[in-house]
Amino acid sequence: MNGIDIRRRGFLKTSLGAAAVAIAPGVLLFDLAHGKPEGASGKVRWGMLIDTAQCKTGCNDCVAACHKENGVSGGTGPTDSQWIRKVELKDNGSGRELSLPMMCQHCEHPPCVDVCPTTASFRRADGIVLVDKHRCIGCRYCMMACPYKARSFVHEALQGQNPDAPRGKGTVEACNLCVHRVDQGMQPACAEACPNQAILFGNLNDPESEIAKKVRSVASVQVRADLGLNTGIRYQGL
């Protein structure tokens, strides 16, 4: 074995060890994360239909629930992560005002995945777009590519994390539809917390699901449909 091989093996050993502890001081992501025992199915496409008529101005229950579930601080500073945010819209012609939650749109053709140089950003077979914290190098190309400004960069070391939703300094993150809940047959925290049932979550591929029936029966739109991304998040009443 030559010197180059020895140095290479030493580098890999050191790098892998560093990756295991990079999530937070004293916290191993390998120990925290609890994966789904079976793989995601392409027969399913998880998505949401958000009824803007039921989404109330000033109500931030969905935002608070998301932040609590995923251990996000909820701050509004320039370096604070925002997995979901409320957007207020006004039609200058009619004066009509709308309030709606904006998060990762879980695109069928996600730009964030296309630009990621390490394949850290990826789309599961069931349509959920995720970030592999072990592969993410913090380049933030995905943040620039996202037309919804849905991704955040973790600038500071983190404490008191949710073991089911580990986060990591120096990595990018975004709404993941509370994948740890979905994989256990539960709804995302935002949908469960909405007091007005404005967020309908379900399988868009199942014609008998409530969300699929609703999408067929009401007028709904995708934000920036002109981009051809085929988002998993749809909005009613926009």
Q: What pLDDT is stored for residue 97 in this prediction?
A: 87
How far is Cα 206 from Cα 15, in angstroms, rounded to an integer? Answer: 43
Number of domains in the chain: 1
Q: How far is the CA of 59 from the CAs of 84, 136, 139, 157, in angstroms?
A: 13, 34, 34, 30
- Structure tokens belonging to residue 183: 């994989």
Amino acid occupying residue 148: Y
Asked, for residue 20, whether it belongs to a domain, the answer is no
CATH of the domain at 46: 3.30.70.20
DSSP 8-state secondary structure symbol assigned to residue 77:
S
pLDDT tens per residue, range 80-110: 899 999 999 988 888 888 999 999 999 999 9
| Of 34-48, 49-63, 172-186, the least confident | 34-48
pLDDT tier at 113, thresholds 50, 70, 90:
very high
Range of the domain at 114: 35-236
- How many CB atoms within 10 Å of residue 201? 22
Of 203 and 90, more confident: 203
Asked, for residue 23, whether it belongs to a domain, the answer is no
pLDDT tens per residue, range 116-154: 999 999 999 999 999 999 999 999 999 999 999 999 999
Residue 203: is its pLDDT beyond 70? yes
User: What is the residue-averaged pLDDT of the chain?
Assistant: 86
How far is Cα 217 from Cα 213, in angstroms, rounded to an integer? Answer: 6
Residue 40: is its pLDDT beyond 80? no
pLDDT tier at 31, thresholds 50, 70, 90:
very low
| Of 13-17, 116-120, 157-161, the least confident | 13-17
**How large is the average pLDDT for residues 13-36?**
46
Starting from the edge strand earliest in sequence, which strands make up the sheet with 46-51, in order?
199-203, 46-51, 233-236, 220-221
How far is Cα 147 from Cα 118, in angstroms, rounded to an integer? Answer: 20
pLDDT tier at 20, thresholds 50, 70, 90:
very low
Q: What pLDDT is stored for residue 25 in this prediction?
A: 46
**How large is the average pLDDT for residues 18-39?**
48
Cα angle: 131, vertex 228, 201; to 5 degrees: 60
Q: Give the percent of the chain with pLDDT over 90.
A: 67
Asked, for residue 73, whether it belongs to a domain, the answer is yes
User: What does pTM read for this prediction?
Assistant: 0.82
Q: Which of 141, 143, 126, 152 is nearest to 232 (CA)?
A: 126
Q: What pLDDT is stored for residue 36 in this prediction?
A: 56
Q: What pLDDT is stored for residue 184 in this prediction?
A: 94
| Of 24-38, 50-64, 161-175, 222-236, the least confident | 24-38
DSSP 8-state secondary structure symbol assigned to residue 5:
H
Asked, for residue 3, whether it belongs to a domain, the answer is no
Three-state SS string over 101-168 comes to EEECCCCCCCHHHHHCCCCCEEECCCCCEEECCCCCCCCCHHHHHCCCCCCEECCCCCCCCCCCCCCC
Asked, for residue 6, whether it belongs to a domain, the answer is no
How far is Cα 83 from Cα 190, in angstroms, rounded to an integer? Answer: 11
